[in-house]
Amino acid sequence: MGKKRLGHEFYVFLAIVSLSLIIQARSGQFFTLNNIVDLMVSFIVPAIFAMCELIVIISGGMDVSFPAVASLSMFATTKILLSMNYTGNVFFAFLLSGSFGLIMGAINGALISIFNLPALIVTLGTQSIFMGILQGALNAQEIAEIPKVMFDFGNAKLFVATNPLNGLKSNMSSSILILFAVVIITYVFLHFTMWGRGVYAIGGDSNSAIRAGFKVKQIKFSIYCFVGIVAGIAGMTRVCMMQNCQPNNLIGMEMTVIAAVVLGGTSVKGGSGTIIGALLGTFLLTIISNSLLLLSIPTYWQSFFTGLIIIIGTGVTSFQLILSSHRLPSMRKSKNEA
Amino acid sequence: MKHDALSSRKLQKNDNTLLNNLVVAAVILITMAILKSSKFFSFTNFQSMAYQLPQYGLMAFAMALAMISGGIDLSIVGMANLSSMIAALMMIKLANLIPNQNLIIYVIIISCLIAILIGLLCGLLNGLLISKIGIPPILATLGSMQLFSGVSIILSKGNAINRLPPLYAKIGNYALFNIVPLPLLIFILLALSVSFMLNKSAYGIKLYMVGSNTKAAKFSGLHVDKIIIQTYCLAGILSSVSGLIMMSRLNSAKSDYGQQYTLQCLLIAILGGVNPQGGHGNISNVMIAILIFQFLSSSINMFPYFSNFYKLLIWGIVLLGVMIWNKYSKSR
């Protein structure tokens, strides 16, 4: 299996390389410093989301509520900080947003683990509830002016890349450090803790995981709590980077993030998936959405291409499974059952 | 066939969804009778409900079918918009071509048939992706939803397509004896035929078998792939009809109409006792769930201080409440 997963990530990598070569050939603008930096900057938030979705999908679940969680926690945090004229450390903003996320994640986790309900449907329901609270109860409108600490954090840049040809400048946002931190934490949790092994075990076969002594309910609950925290942080990152708080513009992101994670070789049936794959998948979709302009394709083609990539990407993996189950009659049972 | 005597009803003998739902419907009606009796129990209110209900009712059937087969169809709204978009574009193009305006009725009929064909093809694509390529239904339809709405965005460049032949909206708003709207008639007709298919035809019993245990169905000699493809084609046809109804109601076609329907259809299907794991659920229960949903939705509209967004909140709570209730009533 290990060899196979490696192969899949290699294909995604190959797709990224060939796509970027095509874009470079057509526009001559792809491998410029400022384009790469732009890509990285728009990669940050989807990649943070991809980390939480990755863990959920590995555990055999599916979470579509994280954009709603992120929107609600970032909006609530921004509102609170504005009302108290907060001037302290930006760290507190992330902490607050993360805790709001944690509460919402815990609701998801409780519904999924205690009542043992299908994760997709629970999160569809909670997504609707969170958006209802955000748009109905809080009557959320765009907040144009965010607290100064957040503004400064979003403005902070690691370096500025300049395109020598046309002098266009792109800032590498310091928010990318948050992405690094989230990726490292996810990596450590997934690969160096018993919890991480539990996540894989539950996704592989939940009953066997119980037999093996994993506390499945607790692990499931904590997965959704983790997702909540990370989503809250991602939402806050988004506000800082956008320099304003738009309660509605994360909606619909769940589908692209799920697609990105699955493109990276994570099995929707759970039990397998890697961080590097999820990151590559996200990067592929980011390139597509960012580079249509470079190719002078009107942006309204974006949805079409995203759908096409999802179908082709998941189709290749799924078809390989079908083929291999035909080739190896002895394996057939386990594959079909999975 | 003797085999069919084991009708789907037998498969869900211990199912009390029907009773639950009737109780819920009665509770809503009684509450409204107390609170807003004159407004709720008026002819206009019931007629406007009859106009609103068919478009998402048909989508809910499509969702229920996919869920009975053990899958899910997230592309329903995409299919509806794509087929109505193509019908709208064709109508406008052809209406300009024909010399005699008396022929416009044929233009409308042809366009509608083509739209249904498009729905069928979209469903076929879904079915092929799921059965032959082996993509899990949720991902296949997630991708195809993007694809379908992508195509309709490309066709319309993201704008709404207006200026349909006036006759089309007239047909859509036609009411039999000035009471029963045409969309409702179409809805009832399709509901009866889907119900017949599920309960009385060989296809229906096979669908329940595939949904409850795909592997067992395969080993007992059913063409599982064929049944899955048929199911998603049927879902595609239902969605395209619903798209056509939506187009006549709004008198335009756009790529992002009815985005909220995906969640609503899922909610209705689950409210109607369709098991997300597949194999359970019947159309009459879904029908009652559609009515409950419409009652609830119209009731909320009668309280002006509820903003429309509260509906989202309420749908979410109802969805989760029903899921938990089902869990408990089943374990008892």
Mean pLDDT, chain B, rounded, equals 81
Minimal-distance CA residue of chain A relative to B129:
A315
CATH number at residue A136: 1.10.3470
Residue B87: how many other CB atoms lie within 10 Å: 28
Report, as an integer, the average pLDDT of B312-326.
82
Alpha-carbon Rg for chain A, nearest whole angstrom, is: 20
Report, as an integer, the average pLDDT of B161-178.
76
Three-state SS annotation for chain A: CHHHHHHHHHHHHHHHHHHHHHHHHHHCCCCCHHHHHHHHHHHHHHHHHHHHHHHHHHCCCCCCCHHHHHHHHHHHHHHHHHHCCCCCCHHHHHHHHHHHHHHHHHHHHHHHHHCCCCHHHHHHHHHHHHHHHHHHHCCCCCECCCCHHHHHHHHCEEEEEECCCCCCEEEEECCHHHHHHHHHHHHHHHHHCHHHHHHHHHHHCHHHHHHCCCCHHHHHHHHHHHHHHHHHHHHHHHHHHHCCECCCCCCCHHHHHHHHHHHCCCCCCCCCCCHHHHHHHHHHHHHHHHHCCCCCCCHHHHHHHHHHHHHHHHHHHHHHHHHHHHHCHHHHHHHHHC
Say if CB B238 and CB B131 are below 8 A apart: no
Residue A282 identity: T
Q: What is the pLDDT of residues B271-292, one digit of tens each?
A: 887 877 777 777 888 888 888 8
Contact (CB<8Å) A304/B151: yes
Question: Considering only CB atoms, which chain B residues are within 8 Å of A321?
Answer: 134
Question: Considering only CB atoms, which chain A residues are within 8 Å of B158?
Answer: 300
pLDDT at B307 over 70: no
Nearest to B255 by CA among B74, B81, B7: B81
Query: Tell me, what's the pLDDT at A327?
Result: 56
CB-based contact (8 Å) between B277 and chain A? yes
Report, as an integer, the average pLDDT of B213-235.
85
Mean pLDDT, chain A, rounded, equals 82
Say if CB A123 and CB A65 are below 8 A apart: yes
Question: Considering only CB atoms, which chain A residues are within 8 Å of B150?
Answer: 301-308
pLDDT at A325 over 80: no
Q: Is A254 exposed, middle or buried (0-12, 13-18, 19+ CB in 10 A)?
A: buried
Contact (CB<8Å) A315/B133: yes
Q: Is B163 exposed, middle or buried (0-12, 13-18, 19+ CB in 10 A)?
A: exposed
Coil, strand or helix at B204: helix
Query: Tell me, what's the pLDDT at A47?
Result: 93
pLDDT at B167 over 60: yes
> DSSP string spanning B135-193?
--HHHHHHHHHHHHHHHHHHHHTTS-B----HHHHHHHT-EETTTEEHHHHHHHHHHHH
Give dist(CA A39, CA A238) in Å, integer. 15
Q: In angstroms, how far apart are the furthest CA atoms of chain B? A: 68
b (16+ CB within 10 A) / e for B6-29: eebeebbeebebeebbeebbeebb
Report, as an integer, the average pLDDT of A74-88.
84
pLDDT at B30 over 80: no
Nearest to A52 by CA among A248, A251, A234: A234
Question: Considering only CB atoms, which chain A residues are within 8 Å of B141?
Answer: none
Query: Tell me, what's the pLDDT at A21?
Result: 87
Say if CB B320 and CB B304 are below 8 A apart: no
Coil, strand or helix at B253: strand
What are A171's strand-pairing partners?
A160
Give dist(CA B215, CA A336) in Å, integer. 8
Give dist(CA B266, CA B276) in Å, integer. 9
pLDDT at B10 over 70: no
Give the list of residues 6+ apart from residue A220 with CB closer than 8 angstroms, or none. Answer: A59, A61, A109, A112, A113, A202
Question: Considering only CB atoms, which chain A residues are within 8 Å of B312?
Answer: 128-129, 131-132, 135-136
Question: Considering only CB atoms, which chain A residues are within 8 Å of B323?
Answer: 115, 117, 121-122, 125
Query: Tell me, what's the pLDDT at B16?
Result: 65
Query: Tell me, what's the pLDDT at B150?
Result: 87
Residue B70 identity: G
Report, as an integer, the average pLDDT of A272-296.
85
Residue A290 identity: N
Give the list of residues 6+ apart from residue B26 with CB closer than 8 angstroms, or none. Answer: none
Structure tokens of B227?
A: 């049944």
Phi and psi angles of residue B3, each rounded to the nearest 5 degrees, phi first: -55, -35
Query: Tell me, what's the pLDDT at A188?
Result: 92
Q: What is the pLDDT of residues B93-112, one digit of tens each?
A: 887 777 777 778 888 888 88
Report, as an integer, the average pLDDT of A127-132.
88
* Alpha-carbon distance A134 to nearest alpha carbon in chain B (angstroms): 9
Percent of chain B surpassing pLDDT 70: 90
Contact (CB<8Å) A304/B154: yes
The closest CB to that of B263, out of A116, A122, A124, belongs to A124
- Structural domain that includes position A156: 2-337
Question: What number of residues does chain B have?
Answer: 332
Mutate to test the interface with B, among A72, A126, A318, A335 (most CBs of B within 10 A): A318
pLDDT at B4 over 90: no
pLDDT at A53 over 60: yes
Give A110-115 contacts, CB < 8 A, sequence gap 24+. Answer: A110/A221, A111/B320, A111/B324, A112/A61, A112/A220, A112/A221, A112/A224, A113/A216, A113/A217, A113/A218, A113/A220, A113/A221, A113/A224, A114/A217, A114/A221, A115/B323, A115/B324, A115/B327
When pLDDT is cut at 50, 70 and 90, the band that residue B332 belongs to is low
Split into its structural domains, chain A has a count of 1
Minimal-distance CA residue of chain B relative to A263:
B139
pLDDT at A135 over 90: no
Give dist(CA B82, CA B100) in Å, integer. 28
A-to-B residue pairs, Cβ atoms closer than 8 angstroms = 151
Question: Considering only CB atoms, which chain B residues are within 8 Å of A111?
Answer: 320, 324
Mutate to test the interface with B, among A64, A108, A121 (most CBs of B within 10 A): A121
Question: Considering only CB atoms, which chain A residues are within 8 Å of B266?
Answer: 121, 124
pLDDT at B7 over 60: no
Q: What is the pLDDT of residues A229-267, one digit of tens each?
A: 999 999 988 888 888 778 887 877 888 888 888 888 887
pLDDT at B321 over 60: yes
Contact (CB<8Å) A307/B146: yes
Query: Tell me, what's the pLDDT at A329?
Result: 47
Minimal-distance CA residue of chain B relative to A323:
B133
Torsion of CA A54, A57, A59, A62, to 10 degrees: 130
pLDDT at B266 over 90: no
CB-based contact (8 Å) between B216 and chain A? no
Percent of chain A surpassing pLDDT 70: 93
Contact (CB<8Å) A300/B276: no
The closest CB to that of A126, out of B138, B310, B316, belongs to B316
How many CA atoms, within 13 angstroms, populate the side-chain half-sphere of residue A28?
A: 3
Q: H or E segment at B282?
A: none
When pLDDT is cut at 50, 70 and 90, the band that residue B5 belongs to is very low
CB-based contact (8 Å) between B157 and chain A? yes
Say if CB B198 and CB B204 are below 8 A apart: yes
Would you tell me the crossing angle of helices B224-250 and B104-128 to the nearest 10 degrees?
Answer: 140
Give dist(CA A242, CA A146) in Å, integer. 10
- Find tokens 């087969």 and name the residue: B69
Q: What is the pLDDT of residues B235-263, one digit of tens each?
A: 999 999 999 888 888 888 787 887 778 88
Q: What is the pLDDT of residues B35-90, one digit of tens each?
A: 766 776 777 777 778 788 888 889 999 999 898 888 888 889 999 999 988 988 88
